[in-house]
Structure 1
Amino acid sequence: MRYLSTRGGSPSVSFFDAILTGLAPDGGLYMPQSWPRLSEQVLRNAAFVPYAETAAAILSVFAGDDLSADDALGLTEEAYGSQWANPAITPVQQIGPGDYLLELFHGPSLAFKDVAMQLLAGLYSHILERRDARLTIVCATSGDTGGAAVEALKQTDRVDLFVLMPKGRVSEVQRRFMTASGAPNVHALDIEGDFDAAQALVKALLADQAFSQEVTLSPVNSINWARIMAQSVYYVVTACALSAGSLVHFTVPTGNFGDALSGYVAKMLGAPIGRIMIATNANDGIAQAFETGTYTKSAASITTLSPAMDIAVASNFERIVFEATGREQGLLKQLYDQFGAIGSFDLPNEAQAFLRSHYDAFGVDDQETRWALADCFEQTGEVLCPHTAVGWRARYGQGECEGARVLLATAHSAKFPETVEAILGQVPSLPPHCADLFARQEVRIDMPATIEAVKAYIRGHLGVAA
C-alpha cells in the first residue's frame, strides 16, 4: 500500500514512512492511494472475535507488504491488552430504543485517543527496532491527545516525546496525565497560546526539513495516518455488531475532524455505516461550512466547557475535502493555499454534495452543553463528559434514521470534575488505575509560542530528562 499527499507535491511513500514522517513535505496529509476493503469474513466476524483480531485485519490491509499478518496481530494484541479497564476495549451500552453509547474511555488516559495511541506506540517501536533508529515525537494537544501520547510512550526506548499544551486551557486532570508521568523521556511544554498556536508550531517544525531531519521528527496528532486508521476499528466493530440488516448511524463530537474522518474510513472498508453526525462546540467552522459552503478560519479558538474541541482549524478536514473533490490534488492545493492566504475557501458544489451524502453537522454552545449533560443524566442516569454532551445535544438535530444510532462517548467524566459538579452536583471519581493522579509530582515547562524557542528546547533535551 502506498500513500500520497493530499496536495500532490510530494512522492508517494510506504505505510511505515507515512507513519514516521506524519506530514508530507509539501504540507499535505497522507492518504492511501486507494481504499482497501475488508473481506466478508472479517466483517461477519467483527462482532464476535476479540477486538485485537479485527484491528489486526484493518492494520494489515493498510500496511500491505510493510507488515506480516503475524506481526500485525502481535502489535494489536499488545495494544489492546491488560492496560484496558474493560476487556471489550470499546464496549457498547444501550441507552434507549435503538440508541447506544459507545464507551471509548476505558484506556490508560480515559479518552478515545488511547485507542489509536496504544497501537501507534507499538508501531513506532516495531519500525525503530527494524531500522535501528531513534525518534523525536512532537504532539500538540487540546487536552486528551497529549495524555494518551504520554501514557503510550512513557519509558519507551528510542523515543523522546515533547507535548505542546495550551497554557490554562486544559482541565487539571487532563494536564496531570501529561505532567505527572515521572518518565524521563516525556517533556510537557506549557505554550503561551491556544491549541491552534500549538498545532501551528508542530506543523512548522515538521515543515522545517533541516530541523526535522536533524532530530528525526514525527507527529502523533491525528495528522498521522495511523491515528485515523486505528480509530476506524471501533466503527467497524460497532456497526457490524448493531447492524441487523440496517445501516448504523453515528454521532461524533469533534474538533480536529479526525474521529469523524475515521467513520468515513470504516465505511470505505465495507462497514454498514449510514449517516455520521458531526457535533461541534462553539468552534463551529465545520458546521458552518456544511451550512454555507464556505470553510472559514476563526481569528482564535473560543474557550468552552469542552476544551478538547476548542480548535479553530480542523486539520483532518483537508482529508475529507480531498475525497469530496474527487482526489484532485491540484484543486486541493489551490483551496488550501487560499485558506492560508485569506483564511477561507468555498467548497465546490460537487464537494458540498459529497459531504452532505455522508455527514450531517450541528454546532452546540455551552448553554446547550449544560442542558444536554443534565438531560442525559435525567433520562438514562449516565454521567457524560462535556464533549459527549455536545454529541447528545447534536443527536436532536439529526432527522429520523432507520437503524441503530450510536453516540461516541469520547472521554471519562472524571476528566472534567468541575464542569460535572457544577451541572449535576456530583463529582465523578477517577478509576482505580489513576486514583493517585493528584498525588503524583508534576513537571511542566513554560514556553513561548515561537518555533525558535521550541526548537532550542528540543535540541537541548534529546535523551535528557526535563
Structure 2
Amino acid sequence: MEYISTRGNVEARGFIDTVLMGLADDGGLMVPFKTPVISPETLEEWRSLSFQELFLEIFSYYTNDEIPYEDLKEMVYTSYGNFRAPEVTPLRKINDSLHVLELFHGPTFAFKDVALQFMGELYSYISKVRGEIIHILGATSGDTGAAAIQGVRGKEGIKICILHPHGKVSKVQELQMTTVDDSNVLNLSVEGNFDDCQKVIKELFADLDFKGRYHLRAINSINFVRILAQTVYYFYAYLQIEGSDEKKINISVPSGNFGNIFSGYLAKKMGLPINKLIIATNENNILERFVLTGEYKPGSFTGTYSPSMDIQVASNFERYLYYLLDEDTVKLSAYMSQLQTDGKITVDGELFNQVQADFAALGVKNQQCLDTIGKYEQEYGYLLDPHTACGIAAYEAFSGSGETAITFATAHPAKFDEAIALTGIKQDFPAQISALFEKPQHMTVVEHDKAEIVRQLQAFYG
C-alpha cells in the first residue's frame, strides 16, 4: 500500500512516512493509492472479533508490513487497555430501531480517544525505532486537544502544542487540556475561533522550511491514521448487530470537521454495507448546505451548545471531494484553488446527484438539541451530550420504516454540563472529571496572531 496526495504533487509514500508527513507537502491530504475492499465472507468472519482484534485486521491492509505484527499488537492493546469498557466502544440498544455506539469510554471521555490513544503509541514507537524527533502541533475545537495530550504526555522524544479557541470550548474540555503540567505539553489559548486556530496550523505545515526545521507532526484528522483508526468502530458497530447483513443499517454521525463521517465513507468504500451515512451538525451547517445545495461555502461562525462542531471550514472535505471527482488530482486542485479565490465550491449535475446518494445531512438548532436531550432522558433514561443529541435528531429525521440506525455518542454528557443544565437535568460527574476542578491550569493566552504563535512554538520546541 502506497499513499499519495489528493493534489497529486507528492511522491508516493509508505505508511510511516505518511504518518510523519501529516498534511501533504503540496497542501493536499494523504490518501491510499488504492482502497482495499473487504469481501462479505471476510466481514462475516470478523463478526466474532474483539475491537482490538478487528483493529489489527483492518490495519493489516494499510501498514505495508512496515511495523512487525507483534509490535503493532502491543501498541493496540496498550492503547485500549485504559478504556473503562472492555468492549472499548460498547453498543447500547435504545429501542427497536436505534442503537447508540458509546465512543466516550477512553481517558478523556470523548471519541477522539479511540484514534489518539493509538496515535500516541504509534508516534512513540516511530520516535524510538527511527530516532525521530516528534514535535506535535494541532488545533482543537475541544476534544482533540485533550485526547492528543493524554496520548503523549510524558513520553520521551515527543513534545506537543495544542491551540484552542479561548473561551469557546466547554469548561471540562479546557480543564482536561490545561491541568496537564508535563513539561512536554504547551497549551495556547487563542483569541479567536477554531477556524482561526486551524488556519494557522495549516499555514505552518504548508511552510516546508518551518515544518522541517521544527520536526512538526500532525495530530489532527488531516493525518490519515486518525481517519483509519476511526473506521474500526464503524465495522465493529455494524458487526455487533445481529443479522446486520440482512438489515438496512443507517449510521448517524455528529461531525464538524468531516473527519468522523469521512471515516464512515472510507469504511463504505472498503465494503461495509452501510445503508445511509447521515451527517449531523449544528447551526454552523456548512456540511448540511453542501449536501442540500451542492455549494460548499464557509459562512459566519455561530457559538452553539455543541461547541466541538462549531466549525465552518471542514478539513477533511478535500478527501471526499477527491473521491467525488473520481480521484482526479488536477480537477481537485482546480476546485481547491477556486475555494481560495472565490470563497466557495459548487458541484452540480451528476456530481451533486452523487453527493446526495452518499449522504443525508441535518443542521440541528440549539433548541432542538436541548429538546432531544430532555426527550431521551425522560423516555429512555438515557442522557445524551449535545453532540450526540444532534446525531439522534438527524437519525429521527432520516431513518425510514424497517431501517435500523446506529448513532455515535461522541462524548460523555459530563463534558458539556453547561448545555445539560439548561434542560433542568442534574447529572453526577465521574470522579475523574470532578477532580479537574481542583487542579491549577497551565495555558498561555495569545492573540490570533501567527507571528506570536510562531514565537511561542520556537521557544517551546527549541
Determine if the alignment matches structure 1 residue 241 to structure 2 residue 240: yes
Structure 1 counterpart SS, 2:264: helix
Residue in 1 aligned with 2:382? Answer: 382
Determine if the alignment matches structure 1 residue 400 to structure 2 residue 400: yes
Residue in 1 aligned with 2:209? Answer: 210
Q: Distance in 1 between matches of 2:256 and 2:183?
A: 30
- Alpha-carbon contact 2:172-2:433 (below 8 Å) kept: no
Structure 1 counterpart SS, 2:383: coil
Q: Give me the CA root mean square deviation.
A: 1.5
Residue in 1 aligned with 2:219? Answer: 220
Structure 2 counterpart SS, 1:390: helix
Structure 1 counterpart SS, 2:138: strand
Determine if the alignment matches structure 1 residue 177 to structure 2 residue 164: no
Residue in 2 aligned with 1:59? Answer: 59
Residue in 2 aligned with 1:317? Answer: 317
Q: CA deviation at 1:348?
A: 4.1
Residue in 2 aligned with 1:340? Answer: 340
Residue in 1 aligned with 2:293? Answer: 292
Q: CA deviation at 1:435?
A: 3.5
- Name the amino acid aligned to 1:459: Q
Task: Write the deviation string for residues 175-208 of structure 1: whole angstroms up to 9, x where unpaired.
Answer: 0111001211111100011000000011011011
Q: CA deviation at 1:432?
A: 3.2
Q: CA deviation at 1:457?
A: 0.9
Q: Distance in 2 between matches of 1:334 and 1:272?
A: 32
Residue in 1 aligned with 2:283? Answer: 282
Q: CA deviation at 1:72?
A: 2.3
Residue in 1 aligned with 2:5? Answer: 5
Q: CA deviation at 1:284?
A: 0.5
- Alpha-carbon contact 1:121-1:153 (below 8 Å) kept: yes
Q: CA deviation at 1:404?
A: 2.1
Q: CA deviation at 1:43?
A: 2.2
Residue in 2 aligned with 1:353? Answer: 353
Q: Distance in 2 between matches of 1:267 and 1:376?
A: 29
Correspondence list, 1:31-430, <5 A: 31-38=31-38, 42-81=42-81, 83-242=82-241, 243-298=244-299, 300-400=300-400, 402-426=402-426, 428-430=427-429
Structure 1 residues 237 and 407: alpha-carbon distance in aligned structure 2, compared to 1, 3 A threshold:
same
Q: CA deviation at 1:58?
A: 1.2
Q: CA deviation at 1:349?
A: 2.5
- Alpha-carbon contact 1:142-1:307 (below 8 Å) kept: yes
Q: CA deviation at 1:39?
A: 5.7
TM-score, structure 1 length as denominator? 0.96
Task: Write the deviation string for residues 29-69 of structure 1: whole angstroms up to 9, x where unpaired.
Answer: 01101111346565224342221110111112111232233
Q: CA deviation at 1:429?
A: 2.8
Structure 1 counterpart SS, 2:279: strand
Q: Distance in 1 between matches of 2:71 and 2:57?
A: 11
Q: Once the two structures are aligned, what percentage of the paired residues are identical?
A: 34
- Alpha-carbon contact 1:5-1:28 (below 8 Å) kept: yes
Q: Distance in 1 between matches of 2:167 and 2:379?
A: 33
- Alpha-carbon contact 1:304-1:310 (below 8 Å) kept: yes
- Alpha-carbon contact 2:399-2:405 (below 8 Å) kept: no
Q: CA deviation at 1:13?
A: 1.3
Structure 2 counterpart SS, 1:404: strand
Q: Distance in 2 between matches of 1:445 and 1:111?
A: 24
- Alpha-carbon contact 1:167-1:191 (below 8 Å) kept: yes
Q: Distance in 2 between matches of 1:288 and 1:40?
A: 34
Structure 1 residues 401 and 141: alpha-carbon distance in aligned structure 2, compared to 1, 3 A threshold:
farther
Structure 2 counterpart SS, 1:189: strand
Q: CA deviation at 1:9?
A: 2.0
Q: Distance in 1 between matches of 2:46 and 2:380?
A: 28
Q: Distance in 2 between matches of 1:350 and 1:71?
A: 45
Structure 2 counterpart SS, 1:250: strand
Please say which of residues 265-274 and 107-116 is displaced more in the overlay. Answer: 265-274
Structure 2 counterpart SS, 1:276: strand
Determine if the alignment matches structure 1 residue 431 to structure 2 residue 409: no
Q: Distance in 1 between matches of 2:8 and 2:348?
A: 19
Q: Distance in 2 between matches of 1:53 and 1:354?
A: 34
Q: Distance in 2 between matches of 1:206 and 1:401?
A: 47
Q: Distance in 1 between matches of 2:48 and 2:62?
A: 22
Q: CA deviation at 1:237?
A: 0.8
Unaligned runs of 5+ in 1: none
- Alpha-carbon contact 2:282-2:309 (below 8 Å) kept: yes
Structure 2 counterpart SS, 1:341: helix
- Name the amino acid aligned to 2:161: F
- Alpha-carbon contact 1:302-1:310 (below 8 Å) kept: yes
Q: Distance in 1 between matches of 2:381 and 2:9?
A: 52
Please say which of residues 45-54 and 328-337 is displaced more in the overlay. Answer: 45-54
Residue in 2 aligned with 1:28? Answer: 28
Task: Write the deviation string for residues 120-141 of structure 1: whole angstroms up to 9, x where unpaired.
Answer: 1111111111111111111100
Residue in 2 aligned with 1:458? Answer: 457
Structure 1 residues 436 and 399: alpha-carbon distance in aligned structure 2, compared to 1, 3 A threshold:
closer
- Name the amino acid aligned to 2:88: I
Task: Write the deviation string for residues 73-97 of structure 1: whole angstroms up to 9, x where unpaired.
Answer: 222111111x101111000000011
Structure 1 counterpart SS, 2:266: helix
- Alpha-carbon contact 1:196-1:312 (below 8 Å) kept: yes
Structure 2 counterpart SS, 1:24: coil
- Name the amino acid aligned to 2:200: L
Q: CA deviation at 1:401?
A: 5.5
- Alpha-carbon contact 1:38-1:61 (below 8 Å) kept: no
Structure 2 counterpart SS, 1:93: strand
- Alpha-carbon contact 1:376-1:392 (below 8 Å) kept: no
Q: Distance in 2 between matches of 1:248 and 1:64?
A: 31
**Count of equivalent residues:** 460
Structure 2 counterpart SS, 1:436: helix
Structure 1 residues 430 and 41: alpha-carbon distance in aligned structure 2, compared to 1, 3 A threshold:
farther
